Structure 1
Amino acid sequence: MKHLLAVAALVLAATPLSAAEPIEGRWVTAEKDAIVQISDCGRSICGRIAKFLVTPPQGADQRDINNRDAAKRSRKLLDMAILTGFTEDEDSWRGEIYDPNNGKTYRSIVRRRGPDRLEVKGCIGPFCQTQVWQRAR
């Protein structure tokens, strides 16, 4: 019996106390202009633009016209990954976020803040901007 309790204690000690809450699901951006579908993308988590809530200037066929890479300017925004390479890091998820409005990619940290809120940070160096996305209904 003592051996069994010792094994159980070791298992509990090896379990991280502050594991990140899952971020998968459909989320409305802070600007309320799109729904982003966050899901498994192989070895990491990614988020794709699933639906426009505000029609872009070129309509549903809007292209990535602000991308710094001219070769990528013809790709459609709808279904494009804007969150890429997210992996769990203690109580959060770390990866990159792409802003199609300015064509820039930022280091990003994402955390669940309750069942219906997602905190999304985009960072340049030590400076971060935080948005709160709501779960899509």
Structure 2
Amino acid sequence: MNRSLAALFLMAASSAALAQMSPVGLWRNVDDKTGEAKAEIRIGEAGGALVGRIEKSLKKDAKPDAVCEECADERKGQPIAGLEIIRGGKKAEGKDAWEGGKILDPENGKEYRASFTPIDGGRKLEVRGYLGPFWRTQTWTRVQ
């Protein structure tokens, strides 16, 4: 293998690894109480900030036409599939974390301050929601 081909291969491999250390991608979250997969959420970036939507509900009892009945803002009555649940969140300086965002829990309609930290080589994402001094952390798994 010539050097330029080897260098190109190494650059491509390292770019893929760096991309994995980002919240951008498709994630599966799990119910804290039952351990059941709840949803797949696609996180992207728009204008340097995170945006995330429920791509599909994975709950056994999920209705295909379900809407966010508990939402209090413009998302009230919007279909769960495609519902924007993550807004904002920018890469924190000097950290592998995205902070300053908000996350919506469509089951109760509450929106929480949130941070997003890729872990385990980017295969998992720690999603921490804050309400005042209290927080809860979920670990989401990247969908390959």
TM-score by length of 2: 0.73
Tell me, yes or no, if the aligned pair for 2:90 and 2:98 is still in contact at 8 Å.
yes
User: Would you say the 8 A contact 1:56–1:62 is kept in 2?
Assistant: no
- What letter matches 2:67 in structure 1? R
C-alpha displacement of 1:52: 1.4
- CA distance in 2 between partners of 1:87 and 1:136 (Å): 22
Question: Bigger CA drift: 116-125 or 37-46?
Answer: 37-46
Q: Which consecutive unaligned segments of at least 5 residues does structure 1 have?
A: 1-20
Q: Which residue of 2 aligns with 1:24?
A: 24
Match of 2:70 in 1: 66
Deviation of 1:55 after TM superposition, in Å, equals 4.9
Give the aligned CA root-mean-square deviation in angstroms.
Answer: 1.6
Task: Write the deviation string for residues 73-118 of structure 1: whole angstroms up to 9, x where unpaired.
Answer: 2211111111111111132112000000100000001100122110
Which residue of the partner structure matches residue 98 of structure 2?
93
Identify the residue that residue 130 of structure 1 maps to in structure 2.
137
TM-score by length of 1: 0.77
Structure 2 unaligned segments of length 5 or more: list them: 1-20, 32-36
Kept in 1, the 8 Å contact 2:26–2:142? The answer is yes
Give the match for residue 35 of structure 1.
Answer: 40
**Structure 2 match to 1:112:** 118
Instruction: List structure 1 segments (4+ residues) > 3 angstroms apart after TM superposition.
Output: none
What is the total number of aligned residue pairs between the two structures?
A: 115
- 3-state SS of 1:74 partner: coil
CA separation in 2, counterparts of 1:132 and 1:117?
A: 6
How big is the shift at 1:56?
5.1
Partner of 2:79: 76
Report the CA distance shift for 1:72/1:118 in structure 2 as closer, same or farther (over 3 A): closer
